Structure formats: structure tokens, C-alpha cells
Amino acid sequence: MTEKETKVDASSVSLDTFYCQKAGMTRVFDESGNHVPVTVVKLISNYITQVKTKDKDGYESYQLGYGQSKEKNTSKPVAGKLKKASVDECLRHFSEVKPENGVDEESVGGLVDLRSFEKGSFIDVTAITKGKGFQGVIKKFGFSGGPAAHGSHFHRGTGSIGNRATPGRVFKGKKMPGRMGGKTKTIQNLQIQEINLEKGFALIRGSVPGPKDGYIRVSKAIKK
């Protein structure tokens, strides 16, 4: 982890949302000696690259830039946006966050403050699940399948999907083979087991969607 990626405490704006990277899973033991499975996330710098206002854009939000990139891979429009925001880093991902208390136009180029996220805080985690390609109903939905014996002619197939004259069609929403994974999912009410801003990592109880090194969105829980 580079020094630039761990520069998350020199912040300027406190938000209820930030972006980080999934590093993998491990386990820790709490004060009572209980085994706790956790997801390790790498804290990266979230820069405010643009402030959208009602006068200019019709709504208020912060545009956050994150994810280190090489200068040669940064397009001229993106480089111009970063230069205008006085951000020296080359970033490749941009997302918007709508704050509850309005926006501050003077915060362009600043970092997002993560100190409001503490140990024990409840959070909602959003990420894109692992893409598994085109799969059958056994892998996708857990169907039992047919007999494995020779001559059954029914092993891992879907089976009957309708009847003859009645209803004479396939109902919408029928569980069929198709693309699996690669969808945006949100896990609510997870809990922060540990967060260390100096070393640039956090531990989240349980599992979160997405592959290793994938970007995840962490926000304060809306139902807590």
C-alpha cells in the first residue's frame, strides 16, 4: 500500500459514504474470545473532484474520485477535470454522493473525512457481485437435477417449464438458465469490527459482495 493510498486522515469534508477496496477475508477474536469472520478492506483516498449545485446542475451532490491510475492511461478530459479540481493524483473512478446537509463549493479538491466511522458502527455495503457467466439451473438456483443413471436422458436439465394447452405459455420470472452474478448488491446492517486510519485498513464483520481488489461503497446504515 502506497503512501498516497493511506492518506485518508488529512480530510476536509465529513460524509456518510466513502469508497474502498476489498482485500480479502480472515478471522479475528473479540474481547470474549469469540471467533469473528471479517472482510478486510483497504482504505483509499476519496477526493472531491466536483461539487454539483442546484443553480448549475439542478441538484446538490459531491462527485468523488478514487482509484489510482497511471498518467498515460488517463484521458485528457479526466486529466482536465482533475486539474480543475486541484487534484494531483490520476484517478479512474468517479461516483456521486448526495449529502443530507447541503454542499460546500469550497471543498473541491479536498479529501473525505473517515473519522466519523468508528468501531461498532453499522454500515451498508454496496458492490458488484462476482460474475460467473452463463450458468444452468443447478448452479444458479440449486435445482436437484435428474437421475445420474445411464439412459435417464435427464441429468442437469431444467425440466418442465410449462404445460400443454393450459397455460400454453411460460410464466414470467420462471427460473431458467442465464447469466449469473455481475449485479449490484447491497448488504445492510454490517458492523465495523476495527478501523485503522493510520495503517489504512478496516475490518467488516461478515462477507461483502465482489471479488478481491474490487471497489465497494460503504455508507452509514439507513435502518439503524
Q: Does pLDDT of 168 surpass 90? A: no
Q: Does pLDDT of 4 surpass 70? A: no
Residue of 184, 223, 190 whose CA lies nearest to 123: 190
pTM of the model: 0.84
* 101 vs 212 pLDDT, higher one: 212
Residue of 201, 219, 194 whose CA lies nearest to 9: 201
**What average pLDDT does this structure show over 37-47?**
96
Residue ranges and CATH numbers for the domains of the chain are 1-11+18-44+115-138+175-224 (2.40.30.10), 47-110 (3.30.160.810)
Q: Does pLDDT of 9 surpass 70? A: no
pLDDT digits (tens, 9 = 90+) for 94-109: 999 998 888 888 889 9
